[in-house]
Amino acid sequence: MGNPLLLDFKTPFEAAPFTKIKTEHFIPALQYSIDVALKEINKLVQNKEIPTFQNTLDALENCGSLIGRNSSLLFNLNSAETSDSLQKVAQEAAPLLTKFQNDIRLNETLFKRIQFVYENENREKLNTEQLTLLEKEYKGFVRNGALLKQDAKEKLRTIDTELAQLSLSFGENVLADTQTYILHVQKEKNLKGLPENIVEMAQQIAEQKGLKGWIFTLDYPSYVPFMTYSENRELRKELSLAFGKRGFQDNNHNNSVVILKIIKLRQERAKLLGYESHAAFVLEERMAKSEKNVESFLNNLSKKAHPVAKKEWNTMEAFAKENLGISTLEKWDTAFVAEKLKQEEFDLNEQVLKPYFPLNKVLDGLFQIIERLYGLSFYKTTEIDTYQEEVDVYEVKKSDQFHALLYTDFFPRSGKRNGAWMTSYRSQKKGQRPHISIVCNFSQPTKTQPSLLTFQEVTTLFHEFGHALHGILANTTYSGLSGTSVYWDFVELPSQIMENWCYEPEALALFAKHYETDEVIPHGYIEKIKKAAHFQQGLQTLRQLSFGYLDLSFHTKNANLIEEVKTHEKNQIAPLQFTSDISENCMSTSFSHIFQGGYAAGYYSYKWAEVLDADAFELFLEKGVFDSQTAKSFMENILSKGGTEHPMTLYKRFRGKEPDPAALLRRAGLA
């Protein structure tokens, strides 16, 4: 009974008691909670009554809540605050949880009850959400092998277990290579061009490691500024090559074989279930519907973007030759040259903007924006336990009533993977409010300055808050349909639409304030930011499309023919790249979105959702960016509804029509 994961959390809002949870608690707790859930399932299937929605689907939805809570804790911590011991526990937990999922999905008696309800229930007596849950559960069982013969079911179990472990290994390998490398600069002349706060941050990192000089790492707040501002081309090259080698070195962290195993197993799994490819399996449950539609979508955007990108590249090449003495643009030059060109074209220096984006003021302004749009209030609390001292917790209220908990975790550290993401520690359902978390890797405060964000970091914060709102404002009966439990190519709409407020003067006035003087960002800077939003949109679009094409190519019917990851990647993205290939680099081996996250055969959804968000935001522009009725409609029809109805139905209810693909082209200046 000393294991807190075996008990209800007797804490404020039933929040996780992080400081009481030890690594050794997880496996016994998962074993116990799996046993409890299987007993609940057994009770359900032994019910002698005729199967109905209430005694079958309702009952199933309430099974396994303890597993959901404990597994969320484990895997969220494994991403944000991992250690060697926690990684071992995650590797041990993955097959346990996969087996449990398969024990449910491949339970013939349980499936027959669901099938009976699916085929016989009087649907007129069910509400929209119940109908959606019934459809989702039936399809979920079928798509996870319920109709397979016994030997095929056992094969599926084996595949799923191996895939779960390979996915964890992939992420561990990327993290290991990211954290092993440092660039140790010992001569001050090699810092030329770098902003003062970046130099100070590098000195702090060196001091923490007991070294003299300056340390730069592959964490984004260190890596991106160095690649953008360092005038030392050789050091830019060294850092760039190290970043591109993650998961692709002659060491124990090489992901090439891991990828080949994953794509072959995914293909084998899809064929076992009757699909010609993993992409076909995935896209059946997406707005895009088919591989052909995704290819058509990517191709149409590529045709629009490529001529624009080519002009942008030619401009950059000419500028680099004439002004920077760089005759051939290489991968390690593009961010540096692009920044110099942007400064030239727009008289806009990111470093001049940073003092207007101190994290505390941006966050406060963001809270004000959300309060004006959706009526939410955020109150920092110290009563809630956290997993790390840098993490803050907010009590979120709506109409003065508790609505959610929000954890924020903003800075890079050892044991935390790169990137930014939203996740939850507790989902929303009837009678239960959610606990949401945002995890980022922003520029850290230094001894002389607070955390000052780049404009890209500002948009990242707004993006992740859009995801958080999807969770915080969720208002559904069933957790399986709540918040971000939507079609994968719809999940980015709430996040991407929030980025638009970063460009609106009325919104910027709330958060873009100088950290020393509290002066609101000058209007001239705002105009430059808006103009710069179109800067190199052709090249940026091609970059995203190349990731979309690459992802899809790993999951088509021919994916099992791939013999060498690097060669395959090169063939896929070469037509969309202008820099020469780097033989010792491979993007795929650190492509965590598709080999560790949930974006396999779904990376296109970022661009897909951009169409939705560009079209949706046009309504806000038409009515006013803080128009209460438009915001209320977006909240009621999109944010609160989760996956309770088909996304296109929800979207049309908000917008009054299907999305216009040209909206994205108009916003990006590609029309």
Predicted confidence (pLDDT) per residue in 319-350, tens digit:
999 999 999 999 999 999 999 999 999 998 88
Closest CA to 40 of 80, 100, 96: 100
Q: Is residue 360 part of a domain?
A: yes
- When pLDDT is averaged across residues 171-175 and rounded to a whole number, the result is 96
Count of CB atoms within 10 A of residue 47's CB?
A: 13
Q: Is residue 344 part of a domain?
A: no
Domain extent, residue 451, equals 355-533
* Last residue of one domain, picked from the residues 515, 533, 551: 533
- How far apart are the C-alpha atoms of 459 and 495, rounded to whole Å? 10
Closest CA to 451 of 436, 461, 464: 461
Q: What is the reported pLDDT for 671? A: 77
Q: What is the reported pLDDT for 624? A: 97
- Do residues 118 and 22 both lie within one domain? yes
- Do residues 590 and 667 both lie within one domain? yes
Q: Beta 421-426 vs 401-409: how paired, if at all?
A: unpaired
Q: Is residue 257 part of a domain?
A: no
Please give the sequence-ordered ranges of beta strands (E in DSSP) within 294-441, or none if there are none.
376-381, 392-398, 401-409, 421-426, 435-439
Q: Is residue 317 part of a domain?
A: no
Answer yes or no: are the C-beta atoms of 339 and 350 closer than 8 Å: yes
Dihedral, CA atoms, 607, 669, 422, 366, nearest 10 degrees?
A: -160
Q: What is the reported pLDDT for 142? A: 96
Dihedral, CA atoms, 109, 112, 114, 118, nearest 10 degrees?
A: 180
- Do residues 589 and 616 both lie within one domain? yes
- How far apart are the C-alpha atoms of 557 and 279, rounded to whole Å? 8
Q: Is residue 319 part of a domain?
A: no
Instruction: Name 150's Cβ contacts closer than 8 Å, sequence gap at least 6.
Output: none
3-state secondary structure of 230: coil
- How far apart are the C-alpha atoms of 262 and 545, rounded to whole Å? 22
- When pLDDT is averaged across residues 605-624 and rounded to a whole number, the result is 96
- Do residues 444 and 583 both lie within one domain? no
**Counted domains in the chain:** 4
Count of CB atoms within 10 A of residue 671's CB?
A: 10
- When pLDDT is averaged across residues 136-158 and rounded to a whole number, the result is 95
Q: Is residue 591 part of a domain?
A: yes
Q: Beta 435-439 vs 401-409: how paired, if at all?
A: parallel
- Do residues 277 and 366 both lie within one domain? no
DSSP 638: I
* Last residue of one domain, picked from the residues 478, 507, 533: 533
- Do residues 143 and 33 both lie within one domain? yes
- When pLDDT is averaged across residues 391-398 and rounded to a whole number, the result is 98
Q: Is residue 347 part of a domain?
A: no
Q: Provide the residue type at 567 as one letter.
A: T
Q: What is the reported pLDDT for 615? A: 96
User: Is the model's pLDDT at 199 over the cut of 90?
Assistant: yes
* Last residue of one domain, picked from the residues 489, 516, 533: 533
DSSP 522: P
- How far apart are the C-alpha atoms of 474 and 468, rounded to whole Å? 10
- Do residues 112 and 220 both lie within one domain? no
661 vs 211, more confident: 211
The CATH number covering residue 464 comes to 1.10.1370.40
- Do residues 365 and 274 both lie within one domain? no
Q: Is residue 559 part of a domain?
A: yes
Predicted confidence (pLDDT) per residue in 404-423, tens digit:
999 999 999 999 999 999 99
Count of CB atoms within 10 A of residue 653's CB?
A: 14
User: Is the model's pLDDT at 14 over the cut of 90?
Assistant: yes
The CATH number covering residue 70 comes to 1.20.1050.40
| Residue 669: pLDDT band with limits 50, 70, 90 | confident
- How far apart are the C-alpha atoms of 291 and 297, rounded to whole Å? 10
Q: Beta 214-216 vs 376-381: how paired, if at all?
A: unpaired
- Do residues 92 and 216 both lie within one domain? no
Burial class (CB in 10 A: 0-12, 13-18, 19+), 631: buried
- How far apart are the C-alpha atoms of 91 and 541, rounded to whole Å? 37
Q: Provide the residue type at 584 as one letter.
A: E
Token look-up 């484990």 returns 74
Which residues make beta-bridge pairs with 215? 184
What are the residue numbers of the active site?
464
The CATH number covering residue 620 comes to 1.10.1370.10
- Do residues 295 and 416 both lie within one domain? no
What is the separation of C-alpha 428 from the centre of its chain, rounded to a whole number of angstroms?
A: 19
Which residues make beta-bridge pairs with 379? 395
Token look-up 């915001």 returns 631
DSSP, residue by residue, 604-636: THHHHHHHHHHHHHHHHHHH-TT-HHHHHHHII
- How far apart are the C-alpha atoms of 297 and 288, rounded to whole Å? 9
- Do residues 136 and 214 both lie within one domain? no
- How far apart are the C-alpha atoms of 538 and 302, rounded to whole Å? 9
User: Is the model's pLDDT at 83 over the cut of 70?
Assistant: yes
Answer yes or no: are the C-beta atoms of 405 and 435 closer than 8 Å: yes
- When pLDDT is averaged across residues 439-447 and rounded to a whole number, the result is 93
> Which secondary structure element, helix H or strand E, spans residue 422, and what is its range?
strand 421-426
- Do residues 368 and 486 both lie within one domain? yes
43-49: long-range contacts at Cβ-Cβ below 8 A with a sequence spacing of 24 or more?
44/110, 44/113, 45/107, 45/109, 45/110, 45/113, 47/113
Burial class (CB in 10 A: 0-12, 13-18, 19+), 11: middle
pTM, two decimals, is 0.91
User: Is the model's pLDDT at 1 over the cut of 70?
Assistant: no
3-state secondary structure of 396: strand
